[in-house]
A and B are shown apart, each in its own frame.
Chain A
Amino acid sequence: MRYAYYPGCSLEATGRPYEKSVSAVADALGMELLELEDWNCCGATAYMSVNEILSFCLSARNLCQALKTGDTLVTPCSACYTNLRKTESYMSEFPEMKKKVDEALAEAGLRYDGGVVTKHFLQAVMEDAGVDRIVSRIKRPLTGLRVAPYYGCQIARPYGIEDDSDNPTMLDRLLTLIGATPTYYPMKTVCCGGSLMGTREDVALRLCRNLLMCAEQYDAQCIAVTCPLCQLNLDAYQNAINKAYGTRFNLPVVYFTQLMGIAFGMDWKGVGLRECIVPAKAMAEQFA
C-alpha cells in the first residue's frame, strides 16, 4: 500500500497531533505514505470566495504532483479532501472550466487530465488496510469507551466518501473494530462552523455548543473527529463555549487515528494526545 500523501497546511500547525497519529497508525498498518512533492495549499474555503478558477488550479497542481508518486492520493484533512475531489469532478464535468485551468497550469509546464484517486485517510484505513489487518494490530481494545462519532460536514457531502450521506457509518465501524462503543450521535454530519469561528464567532460557538451538548446527552466520554478544523473548533474553543453559555463541558476531542494508536498499544504522547487543549490523559491512561 503506497500512497501520495497530502497533509495540508493545518497538519503543519494546529493539526500537528493529527499528523503524528496518522504517521504512527500508517506505519503500524504497513501503509507507506510518501509526502507529495512540493505541495501547495488547497485554498480552503477562503480561496473559493475570491477566485474560483484559481481555487481549482491550486488543487489541480497538487493532483499533478500526485501523479509523480502514484495514482492514489490520501489526505487526512476533510477540507483538502473536498477541494481535491471537487476539482476532479469539475474538471471532467465542465470542459469550459478545464480549459481555463489547463491554460493556467501550462504556465508552470503542468497539465492534469485525471488519473488520481483521492481518498480520505479514514477511507484508506477501512478500504485498503481493511478489517483483518486493523484487528491484528490491536493490543489494548478500548473496551467500555463511549465515543461520539463526529464526521463533520465535508466528508459526508457531494464530494465525500462512499457512504450514506445522511447517516455515514464508516467511523462507527472503525470505532467498533478497535473495541470502543460508538454512541448514537444524531449530529454526526452537522457542520461545526468551520472558519466562521474567525468571522462570525457567535454563530460558530453555538454550533459547537450544540455538538458538545449532543455528545454529552448520549454519555460520550470523548468525541472522535476526522478533520483538523472540527478538532480545533471543538477543542480549543471549548473553554470559550463554557464561558459564553455557562456550560461545564470537559470532553476530549480526539482524532480517530489517536484512538487507533492507543488501541494499537502506542504511548499516548506518541500519538499527540498531550497536545489536546481539553486534557485527554485520563481517558488515554485507562488503557495504558
Chain B
Amino acid sequence: MNGAQQTVIYEQAMDLRFLDEIYRIPGGEKIKDCIQCGTCSGSCPVSWAMEETPRQVFAMIRAGMRDKVLDSLTIWTCASCYQCAHRCPQEIKITDIMYMLKRMAIRENRQRSKKANALSRIFVELVNKNGRNHETTLMVRFMLAANPFGAVSAAPIGLSLYTHGRLPLFGRKVRDVQGLRKIVAKAQELGGE
C-alpha cells in the first residue's frame, strides 16, 4: 500500500468531533496541551500490556480515531492508579480521560472487554439496589457472568477467603435506600459525562 492510499483510509476513519467529546469532562480541554512527551507511557505500570500506550491514545484522540480508541484494549488495561496524571508535565487528567473513554465504550455497548463490562454492570446494579457493595455477591455473580469456566479456578481463592471469615454471606444495606435511589435517578437523568 502506498502512502497516498493510506492517507485516504485514514481520513475516512476520522471523527473530528471526538476531541470535543473529551472536552466535556471537567478539565478535559487540557488534552490539547499534550506535547507527546511520553512521560505517561513511561510511568504507567501496565503500558506493556496495552495495545496502544497512553501517549499514543492521546495522539489518536486528537487525530479523530474514535472507533480505534474506543475499541482498544488499552482503556480496559488502565488500573486507574493516577501515576501518569501525577507525572504529566502538562497536568492533563489522563486517568479521568481513561475513565471517560470507558464510559463512552460502555454506553455504546462496545464489547471489547466483556469482563470489564460485566464487572461494572454488576457492581453498579448492586450499589443502586442496596447502596453498598456486598463483595461476596459481587464475586459470585461476576465469576458466573464473566467466565463460568474460570470460576472453577477462582473458586479456591473465594473458598479460602470464606473459611478465613472474609466473605460473609449477608451484606448490610443503606437504610434510606429510597433517598439514594432518587439521587441515582436524578444523576442519570442529568447525564453525567
> Which A residues contact B (CB, under 8 angstroms)?
9-10, 12-17, 38-41, 43-58, 61, 82, 90, 93-94, 96-97, 100-101, 103-110, 153-154, 157-159, 165, 189-191, 193-196, 198-200, 202-204, 207, 236-237, 239-240, 274-277
Complex Cα–Cα for A207 and B81 (A): 12
Contact of A41 among B26, B49, B131, B191 (CB under 8 A): B131
Q: 1/0 per position for B43-78, CB-CB distance to A under 8 A?
A: 001100100000000000000000000000000110
Q: Across the interface, which residues of A come within 8 angstroms of B146, CB to CB?
A: 198-199
14 intermolecular pairs with C-beta atoms under 8 Å apart: A13-B166, A13-B167, A14-B167, A46-B123, A47-B124, A57-B183, A100-B192, A153-B79, A157-B83, A195-B119, A200-B115, A203-B46, A203-B49, A274-B164
By the criterion CB–CB under 8 Å, are A108 and B176 in contact? yes
Answer yes or no: B15 CB below 8 A from chain A CBs.
no
With A17-B166, A107-B182, A107-B183 given, is the CB distance from A49 to B115 under 8 Å? no
Please report the total number of B residues contacting A with Cβ < 8 Å: 62
By the criterion CB–CB under 8 Å, are B103 and A108 in contact? no
A-B contact count (CB 8 A): 196
B145-193 residues with Cβ-Cβ distance < 8 A to A are: 146, 157, 160-161, 164-168, 171-172, 174-176, 179-180, 182-188, 190-193
With A46-B119, A61-B183, A196-B77 given, is the CB distance from A14 to B135 under 8 Å? yes
Residue among B46, B79, B83 having the largest count of chain A Cβ atoms under 10 Å? B79
With A38-B174, A40-B127, A191-B83 given, is the CB distance from A61 to B180 under 8 Å? yes
Complex Cα–Cα for A145 and B59 (A): 48
A177 to chain B, nearest CB (A): 27
With A47-B123, A153-B81 given, is the CB distance from A54 to B175 under 8 Å? no
By the criterion CB–CB under 8 Å, are B160 and A277 in contact? yes
Complex Cα–Cα for A103 and B191 (A): 12
Complex Cα–Cα for A202 and B113 (A): 14
Answer yes or no: B82 CB below 8 A from chain A CBs.
yes
Q: Across the interface, which residues of B come within 8 angstroms of A198, CB to CB?
A: 115, 119, 142, 146
A205 to chain B, nearest CB (A): 11
Cβ-closest 7 pairs across A and B: A53-B192, A108-B179, A191-B81, A157-B82, A153-B81, A107-B182, A13-B135
Answer yes or no: B111 CB below 8 A from chain A CBs.
no
Answer yes or no: B136 CB below 8 A from chain A CBs.
yes
> Which B residues contact A (CB, under 8 angstroms)?
25-27, 45-46, 49, 76-77, 79-83, 85-86, 99-100, 102-103, 106, 113, 115-116, 119-120, 123-124, 127, 131-136, 142, 146, 157, 160-161, 164-168, 171-172, 174-176, 179-180, 182-188, 190-193
Residue among A104, A154, A236, A240 having the largest count of chain B Cβ atoms under 10 Å? A104
B172 to chain A, nearest CB (A): 7
Residue among B106, B133, B136, B191 having the largest count of chain A Cβ atoms under 10 Å? B133
Q: Across the interface, which residues of A come within 8 angstroms of B99, CB to CB?
A: 48-49, 52
Q: Across the interface, which residues of B come within 8 angstroms of A46, CB to CB?
A: 119-120, 123-124
By the criterion CB–CB under 8 Å, are A157 and B86 in contact? yes
Contact of B45 among A49, A101, A103, A191 (CB under 8 A): A191
With A94-B26, A199-B115 given, is the CB distance from A52 to B192 under 8 Å? yes
Chain B residue nearest in CB terms to A43: B127
By the criterion CB–CB under 8 Å, are A199 and B113 in contact? yes
With A51-B188, A90-B26, A190-B45 given, is the CB distance from A45 to B80 under 8 Å? yes
Complex Cα–Cα for A29 and B100 (A): 42
